[in-house]
Chains A and B, each alone.
Chain A
Amino acid sequence: DAKTTQPPSMDCAEGRAANLPCNHSTISGNEYVYWYRQIHSQGPQYIIHGLKNNETNEMASLIITEDRKSSTLILPHATLRDTAVYYCIVRAPFRDDKIIFGKGTRLHILP
């Protein structure tokens, strides 16, 4: 029972911002939004997470709508190395030790 909905694939030109959407319309008040990515032949890699405020780190920015029913992961200047499957996950602290991965979005960065 997936809690999130993501497009199966997206393209983005190298050097442009990649904006990856995620719908989580049934998110609860105490659930966080997490993003991971998986580059081919590697294990998933944590990117960022947030509750309701926008978050930024060295890898990406996370924009969460005011009603928290959707979010967008932004890679500000995409490079070919950002080609990967990106997973959006919702998870509640102190309840969900485990992560349930959906199918994610396959992001292709085009040269």
Chain B
Amino acid sequence: DAGVIQSPRHEVTEMGQEVTLRCKPISGHDYLFWYRQTMMRGLELLIYFNNNVPIDDSGMPEDRFSAKMPNASFSTLKIQPSEPRDSAVYFCASSLFGSNQPQHFGDGTRLSIL
């Protein structure tokens, strides 16, 4: 079975540019989560969706960040405009319905903003 697929694996861009990160969850999973990981702050939850509907976006740092889930098999996290402090590894995860279900993570996108 294919796991959670994220693209690109690495992204390097200049500040001010728009960045779009993509995620394909595991087929049949009801929940999708976006995390950010930095050395200083560790692993932080940014936003999560249930059945394509955003449930909690309290972790989104500011209005420059937005996330969408247009269908059950695709989600995007967009940063516009990007800043150097957005440099981090961004992970996507998915899980089945039921809070007992474990989350399955992708391999992440390593983002560097110059």
Count of chain A to chain B residue pairs whose CB atoms are closer than 8 Å in the complex: 53
| A34 closest partner in B (C-beta) | B102
Chain A residues in 8 Å Cβ range of B56: 97-98
Chain B residues in 8 Å Cβ range of A95: 99
Mask, B77-114, CB within 8 Å of A = 1, is: 00000000000000101000011101111111000000
Kindly name the residue among A38, A94, A95, A99 whose own CB sees the greatest number of chain B CB atoms within 10 A: A99
B110 to chain A, nearest CB (A): 8
Using C-beta atoms within 8 Å of the partner chain, give the interface range for chain B. Answer: 20 to 34
Assembled-state Cα–Cα distance A46/B93 (Å): 11
- Give which listed residue, A36, A45, A97, A102, contacts B99 with CB less than 8 A: A97
| B95 closest partner in A (C-beta) | A97
Assembled-state Cα–Cα distance A44/B3 (Å): 13
Chain A residues in 8 Å Cβ range of B50: 97
Tell yes or no: B55 within 8 A of A by CB.
yes
Chain A residues in 8 Å Cβ range of B104: 46
List A residues at the B interface (Cβ < 8 Å). Answer: 32, 34, 36, 38, 41-46, 49, 91-103
Q: List 19 A-B contacts (CB under 8 A).
A: A32-B100, A36-B102, A38-B43, A42-B107, A43-B4, A43-B93, A43-B106, A43-B108, A44-B91, A44-B93, A44-B103, A44-B105, A45-B105, A46-B103, A97-B48, A99-B45, A100-B45, A101-B42, A102-B42
